[in-house]
Amino acid sequence: MPTDDILLVLRQNWGHQAFRPMQEDIIRSVLAGQDTLALLPTGGGKSICFQVPALARPGLCLVVSPLIALMKDQVENLRKRGIKAEAVYSGMSHQEIDQTLDNCVYGPVKFLYVSPERLLTDMFRARVGRMKVSLLAVDEAHCLSQWGYDFRPPYLQIAALRELLPGVPVIALTATATEQVKLDIVEKLRFGPGHRVFQQSFARPNLSYSALPTEDKLRRLLEVVRGVGADKTSIVYARTRRQTEDTAAYLQQHGLKAAAYHAGLPSDQRTRTQQDWMENRIRCIVATNAFGMGIDKPDVRLVVHLEAPDNLEAYYQEAGRAGRDEKYAFAVLLHGPNDADELRRRTQQTYPPLDTVRRVYQALANFSRTAVGGGELVAFDFDIQQFAETYRIKALDAHNSLRTLAREGFVQLNEAVNTPARVHIPIDHHDLYRFQVANEQHDKLIKSLLRFNGGELFSGFQRISENSLAQHLKLSVLDVRKTLLFLHRSGIIQYQPRQESPQALFTTPRYDADKLPLDQKRLLQARDLARDKTEAVIRYAAGGRCRQQLLLEYFGELDAPACKVCDFCLAEKKARQAPAPAADLRQQLLTLLKATPQTPREVLTHFAPGQATAVTEQLRELVEMGELKYAPDGRLG
């Protein structure tokens, strides 16, 4: 395909005039039908690499993605550009998934985003072979590898999916992968001969990395934020919800426009806070690590971590949210005297004993009232604090056991994601009209639904605003919801209420907890790998070398030059420019002036401005001691 054609796709849909480095080569590889692995840094434009070739050819692009929030953001962004996109993920009803998949078989859908645990369900397998799939995109491809920092066993089902899609090329994308992970991705996805691997350097020349030791993190944070500029956009990452709120309050007390952001806040508040930050009404957002995924704000000047992440992959991704506009930016890790020991302890706790994991699995089954053999992919509201209190499990044991179960592919946990209410009208226009005539009391609401959403309600689920309907009809939101539920039960509409609670689900039919097939060998291997990754973080914080070199070597770039902008490189530069000790300076002056007599003003040009006082003082002493003498022309020699 000529360059002009794919550039036209880019310009028409995104308004960009040119591709970023490597994007065009990746796109051409995909269009040539080659299996392709693309490693691009955070903010490097990964999504363009599969979206452009998908739009440049007939058929549907199937995108596997692990994060509901990220899926929803990408679908929303595509729809805003007039591109038909759908998503299938946990929390959707059976009818909604059924309708969405039918739209992909029979309708003009270009992109279908799907979470990995949905890939081999009977409903999905029955449809995917009838879809005209032209490209399979695997986002966050490091999740395929047991050597990666976020291994997810459901991702291994993608290889079986390829058997249902013979001849369909695959593009796998990630921002972070070691050499071992890259090889694992190629093997697990069964890349064919002639596959291509594209990798940009992980170097970020515009990003200054620092790791600052401190015993008072809040005070040091305030200094860092003010040093970069209180009016500049920043992200501060904290480990706990409480820490985000306490830190934001501290910054506010010192006059900064700061706010906390975490999954425990009401959905409306999270949305408002994020919007205020995007539009610069808030300059500093203090958040847990989920914040930032899928958010396109290129002018972040500073990212600070109050605690070290568990691995350098996570740190690189989170720190990399600074300076996406390629202007100078800062990534700062604050670490205290006990942080290394605390990080090691936390890593150890992440892998609880198997009997604890089984106990938590059984408690989850009781909590959700799920019988053995049932519950597969049926989402339920889940409050982990209430869960731990109800079953008298330590909160940390509950959290880490659930993480283990999620990593092993037995459960899935979804943080609160604001999902608007959705409605679909499954009956035809004539039947709907007859119902309206016979049920006058519901006529106004049905007309309002059609007024706001039009005929698309008949072809699939559409978002609705219960608040807007209530205002339009001069009813309470509660009354609107009651009427929608009545219409749902009557078979007139299919109604999915607004969802904003955290949810959980079993990704397999529920096991008897005693027979849960936990792979002890794999869990021990994962624990040892996590320990190695923890030690890499500790070495990074300790420093002693260029920070960027340490990061690049971790990702397999062994010959990178020093960055010259991290805290270590700047300290080295400063040391080289620092005043020489008196004895050294004395010898430098004697050597210089014996070779070439010069005036004191000429002598000063050979030294840094900060050394002027010391040089002048040494010249005076050398003259007084008779080691240097003035010539008639004012030169010393």
One-letter amino acid for residue 192 of the chain: G
Picking from 45, 300, 289, 16, the residue whose alpha carbon sits closest to that of residue 149 is 289
Enumerate residues 6+ apart whose C-beta is below 8 A from 279: none
- Distance from CA of residue 598 to its chain's centroid? 60
CA angle, 172 then 186 then 78, to 5° = 5
**148 closest CA partner among 137, 138, 163, 135:** 138
Nearest Cα to Cα of residue 31 among 12, 5, 8: 5
Report whether CATH 1.20.1740 matches the domain 344-418+501-529. no
- DSSP structure class, residue 579: P
Angle between helices 466-473 and 440-453 (to 10 degrees): 130
DSSP string, 586-630: HHHHHHHHHHS-B-HHHHHTTS-GGGHHHHHHHHHHHHHTTSS-B
Contact 504, 498 (CB under 8 A): no
Pairing outcome for strands 300-305 and 60-64: unpaired
DSSP state of 233: E
In this predicted structure, what is the pLDDT of residue 4? 64
Helices and strands of the chain, counted as H and E runs: 26, 19
| Residue 386, token pair as written in the block | 């209430």
Question: Which pLDDT does position 581 carry in this prediction?
Answer: 67
CATH 1.10.1740.10 fits domain 207-337 = no
Q: Which of 411, 417, 436 is nearest to 361 (CA)?
A: 411
Integer angstrom CA distances of residue 77 from 51, 72, 183, 296, 297: 12, 9, 32, 11, 14
Same fold flag, 3-199 and 207-337: yes
Return the sign of the alpha-carbon dihedral for residues 267, 268, 272, 273: negative
Q: Which residue has the tokens 């903010």?
A: 43
Distance of CA 400 to the CA centre of its chain: 21
pLDDT of residue 627: 84
**Which CATH code is given to the segment(s) 3-199?**
3.40.50.300
**pLDDT score recorded for residue 283:** 96
d(CA 552, CA 8): 35
Instruction: Report the C-alpha gap between 303 and 232 in whole angstroms.
Output: 11
User: Both tokens of residue 338?
Assistant: 């006990």
Task: State the pLDDT at residue 2.
Answer: 54
Residue in 489, 505, 486, 485 with CA at minimum distance from that of residue 497: 485
Q: Distance from first CA to last CA of the chain, Å, rounded?
A: 74
* Residue 330 Cα distances to 280, 402, 472, angstroms: 18, 35, 48
Residue 495 is classified by DSSP as E
**Which tokens sit at 406?**
């999620």
Domain spans, the chain: 3-199, 207-337, 344-418+501-529, 422-496, 578-624
Check if the beta carbon of residue 438 is closer than 8 Å to that of residue 513. Answer: no
Listed in order, strand segments (DSSP E) in 415-460 are: 422-424
Q: Which of 557, 408, 453 is nearest to 39 (CA)?
A: 557
**Residue 245's pLDDT is what?**
95
Provide the pLDDT for residue 621: 82
Helix (H, G, I), strand (E, B) or coil at 578: coil
Q: Quick check: helix, strand or coil at residue 636?
A: strand
For each successive 10 residues of the chain (637 residues), what is the average pLDDT? 77 88 93 94 84 94 88 89 90 83 91 89 87 94 82 84 92 89 92 91 92 93 92 94 94 96 83 92 92 80 95 92 91 94 93 95 95 89 89 92 90 73 87 88 89 82 85 87 90 83 87 93 89 95 92 90 90 71 79 82 73 80 81 79
Residue ranges of alpha helices (H) inside 177-311 are 179-188, 217-228, 241-253, 267-278
Rounded to the nearest 10 degrees, the angle between the axes of helix 440-453 and helix 477-489 is 100
DSSP 419: B
Q: How many residues does the chain have?
A: 637
Question: CA-CA-CA-CA torsion for 452, 454, 456, 462, nearest 10 degrees?
Answer: 10
The answer to whether residues 419 and 466 touch, using CB atoms and an 8 Å cutoff, is no
Q: Quick one: CA dihedral 587, 589, 590, 592, positive or negative?
A: positive
Angle between helix 520-542 and helix 312-319 axes, rounded to 10 deg:
50
